[in-house]
A and B are shown apart, each in its own frame.
Chain A
Amino acid sequence: MTPPVIETERLLLRALGEQDFAPLAAFYASDRAKFVGGPMDSESTWRMLATEIGHWALRGYGRFGVEEKATGATVGLVGPWNPEGWPEPEIGWDLMNGFEGKGYATEAGRAALAYSYNTLGWPTAISLVADGNYGSAAVALRLGARQDGTYTHVRWGPMTVYRHPGPEDL
């Protein structure tokens, strides 16, 4: 399965590749990654990148590398995500270091949600936000999602389930 390219006003959502490794390694090595399984060393990040790409092969969908159109920089890792044991399919977003505060996670998250509804045919979508990750919770709220219970992740601990507006509400 080759990921499509989705264009938004300022961003391209496209297949992940080797060029995303350095920005991902910088993000996952930093304290900012503490809510999404980090901090981790570059070997673990490489495996994680391979896992994200393999998710497409196993599920037929997965997260995209998000590229800033103006510069070509990798600004995020956003899209549908449903690994083994997940409570239900979710829309996930990780914003790379230095690209916070521009609304990029919201812009890419909105495009990923539309893709999941319109192309993948999802009837509903959630996003899991680790307790204390206020930046991510704010993105979920901006996308119109509302709290819908809790989930305890096997490694990341307690998380809040945010449920997005359904396909008919977008």
Chain B
Amino acid sequence: MTAPMIETERLRLRPPVAADLEAYLTFIMSDRATHVGREKSRFSGWKCFAAEAGHWMLHGYGPWAVTMKGSDATVGQVGVWHPEQFPERELGWLVWEEAEGQGIAHEAATAARDYDYRVHGTQTLVSYIAKDNARSIRLAERLGAQLDPDAAPLDPGGLVYRHPGPEAVQ
């Protein structure tokens, strides 16, 4: 399946499409992607972008493209992600540089988390965050997530933030 459309107060979450590629590559090949796996070439970045579309087909959920209402240009990506060998289902977010500081990731991640709890009946979600990614740690905390020292990390030394469950946020 492809991604359904979700609207929040200011945002529209829609399926990622080919036209979103350049903005994604600009991000994923930049220093801003250091904490989430920077890609060195357009070829490898394209493969990651394509894999996100494929994730929807394989799992029935995945990352949405995030746009501001009134414009179809992406400002980031948010969604639920569970590739092979991720210990758990993850709520993840990326925000392009020019869209930072407006609470976009918070608004989009809240909507994606609610959707996953309501539609898929997910009982728990984590976010895997590098320990020096202060912005993402602050966002996880604003979303009500708490450090879970007992959960398996994605990478050695990485942090796992566990989100409040469905009963706590609905």
Residues of A that sit less than 8 Å from B by CB: 17-18, 21, 42-43, 45-55, 57-59, 83-85, 154-155
Pick the contact of B43 from A17, A21, A55, A84 — CB < 8 Å? Answer: A84
Q: When chains A and B are docked, how far (Å) is the Cα of A54 from the Cα of B21?
A: 12
- Nearest CB to that of B16 among chain A residues? A57
The answer to whether A54 touches B49, judged by C-beta atoms less than 8 angstroms apart, is yes
- Nearest CB to that of A41 among chain B residues? B85
Number of interface residues of B (CB under 8 A): 23
Question: B42 contacts the other chain (Cβ, under 8 Å)?
Answer: yes
- Chain B positions within 8 Å of A21 at CB level: 84
- Chain B positions within 8 Å of A46 at CB level: 83-85
Q: When chains A and B are docked, how far (Å) is the Cα of A84 from the Cα of B52?
A: 15
Q: When chains A and B are docked, how far (Å) is the Cα of A59 from the Cα of B45?
A: 16
Of the listed stretches B53-61, B116-124, B136-144, name the one at the interface; the rest are far from the partner chain: B53-61
The answer to whether A42 touches B84, judged by C-beta atoms less than 8 angstroms apart, is yes
Q: When chains A and B are docked, how far (Å) is the Cα of A43 from the Cα of B21?
A: 23
Residues of B that sit less than 8 Å from A by CB: 2, 17-18, 21, 41-43, 45-55, 57-58, 83-85
The answer to whether A18 touches B58, judged by C-beta atoms less than 8 angstroms apart, is yes
The answer to whether A43 touches B85, judged by C-beta atoms less than 8 angstroms apart, is yes
The answer to whether B58 touches A83, judged by C-beta atoms less than 8 angstroms apart, is no
- Chain B positions within 8 Å of A45 at CB level: 84
What are 27 A-B contacts with C-beta separation under 8 Å? Answer: A17-B57, A43-B84, A49-B58, A50-B50, A50-B52, A50-B55, A50-B83, A51-B47, A51-B54, A52-B50, A52-B54, A53-B53, A53-B54, A53-B58, A54-B53, A54-B54, A54-B55, A55-B50, A57-B17, A57-B53, A58-B18, A58-B50, A83-B47, A84-B42, A84-B45, A84-B46, A85-B42
Q: When chains A and B are docked, how far (Å) is the Cα of A155 from the Cα of B58?
A: 26
- Chain B positions within 8 Å of A49 at CB level: 54, 58
- Nearest CB to that of B15 among chain A residues? A57
Pick the contact of A85 from B18, B43, B48, B85 — CB < 8 Å? Answer: B43
- Nearest CB to that of B55 among chain A residues? A50
